[in-house]
Structure 1
Amino acid sequence: NDVTFQTGASYTFNPTSVTNFDFNGDFDLQSGAILSIASGKFVDIYTASSEGESVIFNGVISSTANYDNAQEVDFNNSVSLSGTSNLDADVRIYDDILTLTNNITINGDLEINDGGTSGSQGTLAFSGSEILTLGGDFNNEYSISVATGTIIFTGNGKEIFGDSDDNLNNVTFQSGSSYTLNPTASNNDVSIDGDFILESGAALTISTGKLLDIYSSGAETVDFDGTVTADDVYDGTRDIDLNNTVGFGGDGTVNADFRIFSGTSTLNSDFDLDGDFIIRAGATLAMNGTTQDNFNVSGSWTNDGTLSPGIGLVTFDGDVANRIIDAGGIGVSRDFNDVIVDRTSGIIKVYNSEMRIGGAFDVISGTISIGDASEAYELQVLGPTTVYTGALINTGMPSVGEASGGGTVTSFKGDLTVHGQITTNRPLISGYADIFIFPSKLQGDGDTDEVECDIQIFSTAPTEQIGDLYVSGDLIVQTANTWITNDPNSVLTIGGNLYIYHNFTHKGTVNLYGNFRENVLANMDAELVNISQSTFNMYGNKFINFNPSSGFGILNIKTGTRSINESGGQTPYTTLDIVGDLTIDEGAVLDAGTGGKNINIQSDWINNNTTDGFVEGTKKVSFTGSNEQLITGVGATTFYGLESNNSSITGIRLGRSTTVTGALTLTDGYVYTSSGKLLTLNDNATATSGSANSFVDGPMKKIGDETFTFPVGKNATWARMKLQNVSGSAVTDAFTVEYFDEEYGNNYYNVISPLVHASSIEHWDITKNVGTPTKKVGLYSEDRDYSLINDFNDADLRVAHWNGTSWETAHTIDANDDNSGSGTSGWIMSDNCTSFSPFTFASNSASNVLPVELLSFNAVANNNKVDISWITASELNSDYFIVQRSKDLTHIDDIANVDAAGNSLSTLNYYVEDNEPYQGISYYRLKEVDFDGTIQTHNWVAVEIVQTEEPVPGYNLLDDVDILNVYP
């Protein structure tokens, strides 16, 4: 009946004929007493509180067979258990209620029995906040009444199971413990109403189909510092439920599917979830609004309730394939703050609804797909986005045709930095967007296909390119939107088309593989589209259907045929303007074709295609620079129309032979040619007459049978020459003409009568290259004073032809057609000519050509005098020379008159000595006077004299000049 083990007593319970003894009265194990239970034996306690009996454990109970789920201590009646001892034994509550009135430790298994048909059913009751520390299995087959009590699980490799649906209150899994949750109750769950603490180093396994059901609320603690592992993680069915408004966290790892079932669950620390995460309808996940906590989710995310993101960070990590993000749509109850994708493998996919990220979006590793191969769901990122090296965003299969940034197109509204890749499942180069870029900075590395989709720019605020960027698809700058690149070192590569509907500025390099198109707006001007400081490299057989008002900067045709024909229904434009160089590479072609556009270029034309780099069509290329421009390259260029409109004194210089098939227009600037770099006009090609500001300086060839005026000149002298067709001409005839502003050799007096002399000022070299035509030669002078012609209808003025040894007349007087008549500019025409070589003006008298050719004029100080000398190569009709002196170039004195030779073909030397020169610096010059009164004045020469006396004012200067004429 009643049993007491006194202090100091030590007994072993080991009956031989039975397995147990029944104790029906008080059971008192005093402090210091020891009761050992042999293997296979158990103490059967029938003590009943209803009889006033009690069970007190203050001593030690131990068993050699604990942890085998076979009880060593059995409770059979309703009774209170008190005392402070540890039970190193397996305990069963077989029938009725065992009530804990003190903290107790059971270093063994605990079973709460349900005897089924036997009617025996046990209950464990906590009278208050007692703590049960359990080191073994917990098998609750019937009932537990926890009050505010706590169970601390300390065992390793143990299990929590049983058929009971009753809830636990506070539960702690102690560091080092390891339990498997495997209940067999109808709900397959273990419910916890109080604190749930999984200490660091503790492990909890949730068996397949089982549930950890947490009803903690208010200030109660839900803390995962250990490891939770669910056997069926990543199946989208919760392994852990949070059911009330409570905070949770922990720095452990939860390898389970986690659901917020109801209430508001507030994340109060970093949290690592290696499983799927679900917010049920009506439930809320709240993240910290003052400290950024990182919620790592390696599985799917499904939000059917509310997300309050605070300033929190959600990181999608892990390596499990086929994970999804179902954000539940876009709105204040669904939006994320900051998001990171950092997956080692496997794709995570935005699926079933739109997703919006209000903060930063970093794709560090792995792939996130916004939909799949058949559909897409809109992703909006309001903050900055960074795609790291090796990471990828796939936009899925966006619907097309949106014009306002909606639909299923991914939108980046903050800065976008791409070191990895952005791709699409939709065919590239469609003219529709896979991603929308709003005002931001767009940065890449320039790696091939880093943005492998079509992108569209939205918003009037600028999208600025930073660094290099490679877009494999189209780049579309939408109406009222802006793209800007100010860095001259930035490279933009576009694999598709470039569409400009509004503002576009680029000061770096653009590699364009598609068409260049625009939709002209009423306000399209240089301020809206500015690429004048850019370099455009164009590849492939594509079109240029756009001409910005600013003009292209440098334009390079790298491969394929780039056509500037009108095509594709684009709005017509008038010209293609190029501010910098145009370069056509070997194998590449610029096609101006029929219906193409005029080209204005302000720098060099470089054609490196050795076959046919330019298809000239029927349009004009105008050279409109303000510095020297070159037409050069390893390949020759044929133009239909070629215009010189260069405002510089250096003009256009041919670095390669160049051909014009249509028209040469000389508006401004000189065209410099040479014998190996010839300008050729084909049959039926025309040329404007030129002007003093624009002509061909160098040889020029004309092919064909038509009369043609060569707009030639030299240095600053414009001097046309006409070949007038008479007979025998063919379309293959070819003549090359060059003007020289100098005499032909030293032969202007080597003439055949009746000529007296030829011009010592100029001549034209005319070469017949092909054909046997008869032509008339017309010589032009735009300034008869320069050519020293009295008048173009002068009876003695002739066209002279060099026959190889001397000048002969090629002209007889015909008042009807052989000259332009009186005037400051005009022409005279030769008779029929079949032999061609140098031609010039000549005269049958001493008039018409300047009579003196001055070789030199010198004034040199010699002690206190000045030696003045000059040399003439020839003289014609020359009367005398005047030597002049000046102190200040304002007041001029004649100091000597010297007789000239009249007519001479020999070199003559003249000498004057000024014996009374000015002190310091003074100036001397020479004037020539002909018999007809014509005067030519030469430049001043400076002389410095140091002497003590100056000439006395008012005396005759000529008295102090010695004159010496020397005639050979």
Structure 2
Amino acid sequence: MTNLIRHIILLLIAASGFTARAQQGFYVPKKGKVYFAGDTATIFSNVVNEGKLGVDKKAVVNFKGKKWTNGTDALITDEGNKGEDALGVGGVIRFNGTNSGRQQLDGGYNAATRSGAAFANLDIQNRYGVELIGSTTKVRNSLHFSAGNVYLQNNTLVIGDSNPGSITGYDSIHYIITGSSGTGLLVREHIRSRDNWVIFPIGTDDNAYTPVAIRSHSTQGDDYHARVSDGVKKDLFTGNDLKDQGVNKTWEIGKRTYPNTGEADIALQHLTADEGSVFSANRRCAYVSRYSGAGWDTSHPQDYPVRGWLTAGAALANSGVNTRTVRSNISSASYFTKFTGKGDTAGVLTHVWLNGYRLDYNTVNVYWTTKPEVKIKYFVVERRLSNESVFKKRDSLPSQAVNGYSNTYLNYTLNDANKYTGISYYRLRLVDFNGDYAYSDTIAVGGKPGGFQLLLWPNPTARHFYVGVNGAASVKYIVIWNVLGQMIHREPVNERSIIPMSLWLPGNYLVGFISNSGQLLETKKLVVTGD
């Protein structure tokens, strides 16, 4: 009954128009104020907001009209300052009108001056989607996909407010469409190292999901944008078509505040159906290429695309992800695509899993497995103690691969005399028949004997720390609980041995690791001091 009365009130408001002049639909004039204090309400008509339209954190507003327009001086307020400001959590505005197809949104936000109306939380629940028209739209906290896509057209969508915000519910069906020519732009604010991977769930059209992810290495935040367009040309926008050699997509990634500085990892996900004939035949040497002005460069690593993990759901079998570390080379607009090479020398074609654990106070067992193994002559085990600055050779083992190639699992093990009571770091140097070499990932081994270990360092920490997973145990997740016993984070291990992590709020935490069978193997206390 409460919701029914609220709907009736809204219909009466729409009829009165909030102004003396004739006005169709739900209208908030420049000095007008409307505030949804709680529960669920529904607006059936178009919305024109030129004043203050407030949505409390306890409120959900269903919008079933065709078009929502925010004026240049409008605000979408929340519970902050008794409904006068937009500084609080805010409620949800849900676009779920389906009677007239796509709904339209003119957001009224000015990205240049960082001013204007911004939705606190936006839910897309229209199976036909929502298209942006006229101006930039900003979502301060959370954009959620329940059904349908967001079509940017020639407009910009900004997510976050001095942070990257949250985008949830996206997958290969529900995402943000920048257009086949890449004219729309998705911005996520203030990405920094503690945010880990930040995903831009974008694509060129329906059924063309080709997202981007960015992992900044800098503690200094920056606004990143991304978009994707169909096709790839020799001279970026002109010249020969390179469709056969690549994946028929060009991604644009840019930084707003500190272009051409810092280091970041980028991940690009393409559809296997978009792979050209040359790329498909040689996909084991795929790599991310950047346009430098002189042409598309050749980069590393060159490896098989991995199953598409840039999704809020299960990994996508019809998609492939390749990553690249970019150092001081993301400008205000940088361009990337994917090609294939001849394969990196010195073991990049070799897949190696390195691990180790302390057998006793005198000995560390280092072991590794390869599949496939290509062109490796021998392996060098290198070690660096936590009080040392460089790695040193400990021992070497020859390859077991017959004639330099094996497509089966090959297992290696080596015992290292090590009485160090702190943390020891190990890595492999893979040396090929030409004398070229490459390095494996680095693992950490503690000073205490045990079949498996969870290592934390530094501890205490200001904010950033590392988790080392070593030994015979098969670990699926790292889990963090607060002092109340509430799980605040779960991190998939994904065969990593060293995992960078961070916690923003000072306090005491418990960090544990969970086996593949769901068993809690070990917990350790972590102290976060903050800045």
For the aligned pair, the TM-score class normalised by the smaller chain equals 0.3 to 0.5
Normalized per residue, which structure has more helix?
Answer: 2
TM-score, normalising length from structure 2? 0.46
Query: Per chain length, whose mean CA-contact separation is higher, i.e. which structure has more relative contact order (CA < 8 Å, sep 6+)?
Result: 2
Larger radius of gyration: 1
